[in-house]
Amino acid sequence: MTIKVAVAGASGYAGGEILRLILGHPSYLSGDLEIGALTAGSSAGTPVADLMPHLPQLADRIIEDTTVEVLSGHDVVFLALPHGHSAAIGKALEDTVVIDCAADFRLQEAEEWEHYYGSAHQGTWPYGIPEMPGHREQLQGARRIAVPGCFPTGATLAALPAVAGGLIVPDLAIVSITGVSGAGKKASVGLLGSEVMGNLKAYNTAGRHRHTPEVIQNLSEVTDEEVTVSFTPVLAPLPRGILTTITAPLKEGVTQDAAYETYRAFYAEETFVHLLPAGQQPQTQNVLGSNMCHVQVEVDERAGVLLLTSAIDNLTKGTGGAAVQCMNLALGIDEAAGLPQAAVAP
């Protein structure tokens, strides 16, 4: 039976990345997976060739309106829509695997959702970081999946072994430097080239960023200690990529060798997390276009902290790649199918 896939929000960066990966998916190439409806809002009626010329296989397709009627009848629907738009559509698609790339179903606590998003909490779906303990099992065969935020992906994968292994007091100071595509494709003065080029800017600081509770929620799953997070995102003149650095108080007796071994053992079986050799730092250029997260761990003895660093491509491992990885698990396909480990270089 051919699997039929639709992408809502197909003309945005996340939707385009999902399509790029599916076009190289072995199931698509074998004819076992078919790309169905491609939908959007304001760009409905526009040829894909005009919006996404980097996808020539779909050049003759036309973007349709995002409606339940158009999306019904597909086996899988990816929702690459703005926050707050997924809930009604996702709940209406009863006989479909729905993979939501927005935040609508990520948070478990209604109070946290309402504080950060200012609307009613719609519920919680299985959370799409397979590398988190127990989550791969939740995603296998799931009919509803919440794809994680890009910042929480980089921060969670950087910090998870340290928190789970008791290497640190879980009081984390996180700084993530991100490319502009993380803000989406919408027009914005703050994202104009003349505003971004040659400039660095922190934003949504001092606990205001909506991804803060998501990171706390993720790390709280692996410890009984209270997790606190101070998160500072920084906008950089890059199209893609997130570099995350985390510092946290080191627990007594933790050595560099012990910390590195904890990370090596934690990620030994993970295809898409690569612990770099000692002395080598993650760089965004080394994950460009890949579904990889590169990680490093270092003990700063004089400061008494553990330094954790990660690099991801925010559109691949941070969004579109995570969505396809989750689709593979939901459908019982090889988890790594269609997902590159090799980056584009230079």
- Alpha-carbon span 290 to 284, nearest angstrom: 10
How do beta strands 242-249 and 305-312 pair? antiparallel
> What single string gives the DSSP state of each residue in 308-337?
EEEEE-TTIIIIIHHHHHHHHHHHT--TTT
Q: What is the pLDDT of residue 222?
A: 97
pTM, full prediction: 0.94
Counting Cβ atoms within 10 Å, is residue 206 exposed (0-12), middle (13-18) or buried (19+)? Answer: exposed
CATH of domain 3-147+319-331: 3.40.50.720
Query: Which residues pair with residue 77 across a beta bridge?
Result: 6, 98
Give the pairing of strands 144-146 and 293-300: unpaired
Sheet with 305-312: list strands edge to edge.
201-202, 228-235, 171-178, 242-249, 305-312, 293-300, 273-275
Residue-level pLDDT, tens digit, the chain, 346 residues: 899 999 999 999 999 999 999 999 999 999 999 999 999 988 899 999 999 999 999 999 999 999 999 999 999 999 999 888 888 898 899 889 999 999 999 999 999 989 898 888 889 999 999 999 999 999 999 999 999 999 999 999 999 999 999 999 999 999 999 998 776 666 677 777 778 888 899 998 998 898 999 999 999 999 999 999 999 999 999 999 999 999 999 999 999 999 999 999 999 999 999 999 999 999 999 999 999 999 999 999 999 999 999 999 999 999 999 999 999 999 999 999 999 999 999 8
User: Are the beta carbons of 146 and 87 closer than 8 angstroms?
Assistant: no
Query: Quick check: 171 and 247 in contact, CB under 8 A?
Result: no
What's CA 291's distance to the chain center, in Å?
Answer: 10
Using the structure block, give the residue that is written with the tokens 């480990």: 341
Instruction: Give the C-alpha separation, 201 to 146, whole Å.
Output: 29
Domain 151-312: give its CATH code.
3.30.360.10
* 38 and 61 Cβ atoms separated by less than 8 Å: yes
* CA angle in degrees (0–180, nearest 5) for 330-184-310: 65
101 catalytic per annotation:
no
Q: Which of 101, 150, 293, 326 is catalytic?
A: 150
Residues forming CATH 3.30.360.10 domain(s) in the chain: 151-312
Which residues 6+ apart lie within 8 Å of 18 measured at CB?
7, 10, 78, 80, 101, 320, 323, 324
The answer to whether 242 and 179 have CB atoms below 8 angstroms apart is yes
Residues of the chain with CATH 3.40.50.720: 3-147+319-331
The side-by-side arrangement of strands in the sheet containing 3-8 is 64-65, 33-40, 3-8, 76-79, 97-100, 144-146
Question: Residue 187: its pLDDT value, please?
Answer: 65
Tokens of 77: 């629907």
Strand, coil or helix: 163: helix
